[in-house]
Structure 1
Amino acid sequence: METALMSLALMRFGAALLPYRTGLDSIDVLGLAAATGAEWLWCRESAALIASGIASPCPRSSDSALALLVKTSGSSGGPKVVMLARENLLASAAAVNQRLGFGTGDVWLCCLRLSHIGGLAIIHRWALAGATLILHEGFDARVVARDLRRHAVTHISLVPPMLGRLLDTGAAPPPSLRVVLVGGQALSPVLAERALDAGWPLFPTYGMTETTSQIATAAHALERVPADGRVGPLLPGVEIDPRNGLDTPSRLRVRGPMVMVGYANPARVPGQGLDDGWFETSDLGGIDMAGELMVVGRADDVLVIGGNNISLTRVDGLLRSVPGVSDLAVVALDDAVWGHRLLVVYSGDLDEQTLKRWCDDSLAGAERPRAFRRVTALPLLDSGKYDRIGIRALALEAGP
Structure 2
Amino acid sequence: MMQIDNFHKLPNATNEYEQKVIDFCNNWLRGQNEFVIKTSGSTGEPKPIVLSRFQMEASAKLTGKTFKLSEGDTALVCLNVEYIAGMMMLVRGMVLGLKLIITEPSSKPLEGLDIQNIDFAAFVPLQLQTLLEDLRNVEKLNQMKAIIVGGAAVNEVLENQIQQLSVPIFSTYGMTETVSHIAVRRLNGENKNKNFSVLEGVEIGLDNRNCLNIKADASNNELIQTNDIVEMIGEKEFKIIGRFDNIINSGGVKIQLEKVEKLIEKEVQSLEIKRFFTYGIPDERLGQKLILVVEKAFLEQNKIDSFLKKIVSILSKYEIPKEVLLMDKFIETPTGKVDKRATVEHILKK
* TM-score relative to the length of structure 2: 0.82
Looking at structure 2, the residues matched to 360 and 168 of structure 1 have their Cα atoms a distance apart, in angstroms, of: 29
1:95 maps to what in 2? 62
Q: Which residue does 2:204 correspond to in 1?
A: 240
Could you tell me whether the CA contact under 8 Å between 1:145 and 1:166 is conserved in 2? no
Q: Please, which of 318, 325, 328 is the counterpart of residue 366 of structure 1?
A: 318
- 1:134 matched residue in structure 2: 101
1:385 Cα deviation after fit:
0.9
Q: Distance in 2 between matches of 1:319 and 1:372?
A: 13
Q: Which residue of 1 aligns with 2:265?
A: 320
Bigger Cα displacement from structure 2, 328-337 vs 69-78:
69-78
Secondary structure in 1 aligned to 2:261? helix
The CA deviation string for residues 153-204 of structure 1, in whole angstroms up to 9 with x for no partner, is 2211111222222223443242412322011122222321122245564211
Amino acid of the structure 2 residue aligned with 1:130 = G
Task: Determine which of 308, 327, 334 is the counterpart of 2:282.
Answer: 334
1:387 aligns with 2:336: no
- 1-side partners of 2:172 and 2:55: how far apart? 18
Indicate the percent of aligned positions where both proteins have the same amino acid.
Answer: 25
Q: Given residue 380 of structure 1, which amino acid in structure 2 is its aligned partner?
A: E
1:159 aligns with 2:124: yes
CA distance in structure 1 between the aligned counterparts of 2:118 and 2:308, rounded to whole angstroms: 42
- The within-5 A match list for 1:270-281 is 277-281=222-226
How far did 1:386 drift? 0.9
The 3-state SS of whatever aligns with 1:162 is helix
Pairing 1:113-192 to 2, within 5 Å after superposition? 113-141=80-108, 143-147=109-113, 150-170=115-135, 171-174=137-140, 175-192=142-159
Q: Counterpart of 2:12?
A: none
Tell me the SS of whatever aligns to 1:144.
coil
Aligned residues of 1:251 and 1:283 also touching (Cα < 8 A): yes
* SS of aligned partner of 1:326: coil
Which amino acid is 2:198 matched to? L
In the other structure, the counterpart of 2:173 is 206
Secondary structure at 1:368 match in 2: coil
Given residue 359 of structure 1, which amino acid in structure 2 is its aligned partner? L
Deviations 1:86-119 (A, max 9, x none): 1001000000011011112422111100110000
Q: Which residue of 1 aligns with 2:245?
A: 300
- Pairwise CA distance, 1:85: 0.5
Tell me if 1:355 matches 2:299.
no
Rounded to whole Å, the distance in 1 between the matches of 2:327 and 2:132 is 18
Q: How far, CA to CA, are the matches of 2:163 and 2:209 in structure 1? A: 29
In the superposition, the TM-score normalised over structure 1's length comes to 0.72
Q: Is the 8 A contact 1:76 1:282 kept in 2?
A: no
Question: Would you say the 8 A contact 2:42–2:337 is kept in 1?
Answer: no
In structure 2, relative to structure 1, the CA distance for the partners of 1:156 and 1:14 (3 Å cut) is closer
1:267-293 per-position Cα deviation (integer Å, ceiling 9, x unaligned): xxxxxxxxx921111111254137223
Query: 207, 211, 236: which is aligned to 1:291?
Result: 236
Counterpart contact for 2:248–2:256, Cα < 8 Å: yes
In 2: Cα distance, 1:98 partner to 1:84 partner: 21
**Conserved? CA contact 1:210–1:259, under 8 Å:** yes
Q: Taking structure 1 as reference, are residues 193 and 182 closer, same or farther at Cα in structure 2, changes over 3 Å only? A: same
Find the aligned partners of 1:239 and 1:135 in 2 and give their Cα distance.
Answer: 33
In the comparison of the two structures, how many residue pairs are matched?
A: 324
Structure 2 residue runs of 5 or longer lacking an equivalent are: 1-17
Question: SS where residue 258 of structure 1 aligns?
Answer: helix
Shift of residue 299 of structure 1? 0.9
Change (3 A) 1:225 1:386: farther
CA-to-partner distance for each residue in 1:347-397, whole Å, 9 max, x for gaps? 369645423432234233221222223444433233111122442135426
Task: Check 1:74–1:124 CA distance in 2 against 1; reply closer, same or farther (3 A cut).
Answer: same
Superposed CA RMSD in Å reads: 2.8
Q: What residue number does 1:11 align with? A: 28
State the alpha-carbon separation in 1 of the partners of residues 286 and 191 from structure 2. 39
User: Given that residues 216 and 293 in structure 1 are in contact (C-alpha distance below 8 angstroms), is that contact kept between their aligned partners in structure 2?
Assistant: no
Distance 1:315 1:334, change over 3 A: same
Confirm or deny that 1:251 pairs with 2:211: yes
Separation in 2 of the partners of 1:99 and 1:220?
A: 15
| 1:40 aligned partner | none
Paired residue for 2:7? none
Q: CA deviation at 1:296?
A: 1.8
Counterpart residue identity of residue 144, structure 1: L
Kept after mapping to 1: 8 A contact 2:175/2:181: yes
Aligned-partner SS, 1:204: strand
Alpha-carbon distance in 1 for matches of 2:262, 2:249 = 18
Structure 1 pair 14/326, CA: closer, same or farther in 2 (3 Å)? closer
